[in-house]
A = this chain, B = another copy of it.
Amino acid sequence: MILINGESRTSIEIADRGFQYGDGLFETIEVRNGQPVFFKRHLQRLSLGCQRLQIPVPDAQLLSIEALELCRQMQGTQAVLKIIVTRGSGGRGYRQPDTIQPTRVLSLHPYPDYPKNYTEHGIVARFCSSRLGLNPGLAGIKHLNRLEQVMARAEWDDTAIQEGLMLDINGHLIEGTMSNLFYAKNHRLYTAALTHSGVAGVMRGLVMQLAAEHDSPVIEHHFTPDELLLADEIFVCNSIIGIWPVKQIENTHFPVGAISQNMQSRLQQFNHDDE
């Protein structure tokens, strides 16, 4: 189930700049009961990303109509909606065409069969040896240049490990290969400052909002693996998994504690209509 610029197709022109240069962005959205979850937030991030990359922002109403058309088919089933927006087709060469006609691709995917266990009892993570580069100009954007994540995810095959944590080249912890990373220490929540690398996840933004509303603002800073391993609790999050406590990183164990569990409850209670 794929819609490309509104038409049911499964392939894209070779000349599309998404294929040629990774010249675009994407959103990965949970679909529940035929509805995309936190859709406004995803559209908002997509819009901000397009602005930063100087790609014309696709019409939000058009995207909504197309998304609902796809999601409607998933009534009663959980699924994943992926939206890709690229700078469209153009000639050879980095120079963008004089008139940009962005390509939008909406595709529906099965919801991954993660054990419920991960949410309740936590996951096992490892430190990746592949590092994230530093690039303030692209940091935070969920763009299509994702070789760093591909290389990091290729490091392990052990199904007992659910996520790999990535450091930047300066040795600061930034995020998981597919998630953002939070830790609690002395009743405060911390996450990586995404000034030089990383993806500013929609779920990361929501966790930060909920923390600020109910407790105290999350502290964004630069921290090392040594600091992380001294945490009271750790969790990772994204729009598909929600919040997964981390129970173990390599040989260090962590409790699934009240801060992670409270955040999970708040997320569940959070009124999507108010999103």
Q: Could you list which residues of chain A lie within 8 angstroms of chain B, going by C-beta atoms?
A: 2, 4, 10-14, 16-23, 26, 28, 53-54, 80, 82, 84, 87, 91-96, 105, 107, 109, 112, 130-138, 143-154, 169, 177-178, 196-197
How many angstroms from the CA of A43 to the CA of B61 in the assembled complex? 46
A95 touches B12 (CB 8 A): no
How many angstroms from the CA of A79 to the CA of B13 in the assembled complex? 21
A178 touches B94 (CB 8 A): yes
How many angstroms from the CA of A149 to the CA of B107 in the assembled complex? 28
Q: Which residue of B82, B138, B148 is within 8 Å of A92 (Cβ)?
A: B82
B94 touches A150 (CB 8 A): yes
How many angstroms from the CA of A146 to the CA of B86 in the assembled complex? 13
Q: How far is the CB of A128 from chain B (nearest CB, A)?
A: 11
A133 touches B144 (CB 8 A): no
Residue of B nearest to A143 (CB): B147
By a CB distance below 8 angstroms, the chain B residues around A107 are: 14
B134 touches A130 (CB 8 A): no
By a CB distance below 8 angstroms, the chain B residues around A14 are: 2, 4, 10-12, 105, 107
A94 touches B149 (CB 8 A): yes
Q: How far is the CB of A213 from chain B (nearest CB, A)?
A: 32
Residue of B nearest to A109 (CB): B92
Q: Which residue of B11, B144, B147 is within 8 Å of A13 (Cβ)?
A: B11
How many angstroms from the CA of A105 to the CA of B92 in the assembled complex? 14
Q: Do A150 and B87 form a contact, CB below 8 Å, given A10-B14, A13-B10, A133-B133?
A: yes
A136 touches B169 (CB 8 A): yes
How many angstroms from the CA of A82 to the CA of B17 in the assembled complex? 14
Q: How far is the CB of A188 from chain B (nearest CB, A)?
A: 30
Q: Which residue of B12, B133, B144 is within 8 Å of A21 (Cβ)?
A: B144
Q: How far is the CB of A125 from chain B (nearest CB, A)?
A: 15
A134 touches B137 (CB 8 A): no
How many angstroms from the CA of A166 to the CA of B171 in the assembled complex? 25
By a CB distance below 8 angstroms, the chain B residues around A152 are: 94
By a CB distance below 8 angstroms, the chain B residues around A4 are: 14
Q: Do A96 and B153 form a contact, CB below 8 Å, given A21-B22, A134-B133, A148-B138?
A: yes
- Known pairs A12-B12, A20-B146 / 20 extra A-B pairs, C-beta < 8 Å: A10-B13, A10-B14, A12-B13, A12-B19, A14-B107, A21-B146, A22-B22, A53-B151, A54-B154, A80-B92, A82-B92, A87-B150, A92-B109, A93-B153, A93-B178, A94-B146, A94-B150, A131-B135, A135-B135, A138-B148
